[in-house]
């Protein structure tokens, strides 16, 4: 029930509040003298042009897809790892089948060169 997780909730709330407090303290003590030049985005002295957010490379997308792949794999494996003593041989083989399918995906991306960067 939720009361079991009450300490967790307390710590979550408290650490967020603490971080907010520290940042707010900086507001209290720090000077506030904004100026045009000061608030320019710092791009090594060049006057910035265009928006600060540019389009990303498609590679990052691939990395994210691979990340999801393995993340879901791990989410399935964690309960397997806890219960594997009871599952016996069939459980083990099923897990191996799961790994093999995912490794095929990983190796496919690898062999296709999707993991090459320059």
Partner 1 sequence: MIIVFFVLAFVAVGCAISMLITRNAIYSALFLVLNFATVAILYLILGAPFIALSQITVYAGSVIVLFLFVVMLLGAERLPGGEPLRWQRFIAMALGLVLAVNLGLAITQQAGDLGMLAAPEKGFGAPVEVGRVLFSQYVLPVQIVAFILLVAVVGAVVLSRSEEISHRRELYRKPEAKE
Partner 2 sequence: MTNWLEDPIRWIAEWLYSVLVGWGILPSVADVILMITGAAILSTLALLWVLFLIWFERKLIGRIQDRFGPNRVGPWGIFQSVADMIKIFTKEYITPQGADKVLYNLAPVLAVASVLLIWAVLPFTRSIMGVNLNVGVVYIVAVGGGGVLAILMAGYASNNKYAFLGASRAVAQLISYEVPMVISLLVPVLLAGSMGLNDIVQAQSVPYLVMAPVAALVFFITSMAETGRAPFDLVEAESELVAGYNTEYSGLKFGMFFVGEFLHSFTAALLFAVLFLGGWRGPFVDQVPLLGLVYLFIKTMVIYFLIILVRASVPRFRIDQMMDLNWKVLTPLSILSFLVTAVIAKVLEGQFLFQVLGLLAGNVILLVLFMEWGERRNKRNRRPMVSQPRPLATPASDETSMAQS
The Cα–Cα gap between 96 and 101 comes to 9
Out of 1, 22, 47, 58, name the contact with partner 2 by CB under 8 A: 22
From residue 14, alpha-carbon distances to 4, 22, 23, 33, 56 in Å are 17, 12, 14, 32, 36
Asked if 84 is part of the footprint of partner 2 (rule: CB under 8 A), the reply reads yes
The residue length of the chain stands at: 118
Out of 1, 7, 47, 111, name the contact with partner 2 by CB under 8 A: 7
The β-bridge partners of 43 are 46
Task: Kindly provide the b/e burial profile for residues 53-71, where b requires at least 16 CB atoms within 10 angstroms of the residue's own CB.
Answer: eeeeeeeeeeeeebeeeee
Asked if 76 is part of the footprint of partner 2 (rule: CB under 8 A), the reply reads no
From residue 76, alpha-carbon distances to 52, 80, 87, 113 in Å are 39, 7, 14, 27
Site residues for partner 2 per CB under 8 A: 5-8, 10-12, 14-16, 18-20, 22-23, 25-27, 29-34, 38-44, 48, 51-54, 56-57, 59-60, 63-64, 66-67, 70-71, 74-75, 77-78, 81-82, 84-85, 92, 95-96, 99, 103, 106, 110, 115-118
Site residues for partner 1 per CB under 8 A: 1-2, 5, 53-62, 64-69, 71-73, 75-76, 78-84, 86-87, 90-91, 94-95, 97-98, 101-102, 104-106, 108-109, 112-114, 116, 118
């Amino acid at each position: 029930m939720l009361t079991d997780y009450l300490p967790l909730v307390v710590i979550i709330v408290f650490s967020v509040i603490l971080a907010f407090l520290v940042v707010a303290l900086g507001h209290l003590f720090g000077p506030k003298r904004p100026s045009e030049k000061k608030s320019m985005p710092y791009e090594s002295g060049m006057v910035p042009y265009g928006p600060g957010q540019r389009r990303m490379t498609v590679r990052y997308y691939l990395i994210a897809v691979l990340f999801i792949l393995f993340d879901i794999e791990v989410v399935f494996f964690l309960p397997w790892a806890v219960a594997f003593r009871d599952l016996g041989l069939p459980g083990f083989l099923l897990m191996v089948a799961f790994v093999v399918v995912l490794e095929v995906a990983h190796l496919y991306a690898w062999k296709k060169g999707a993991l090459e960067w320059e």
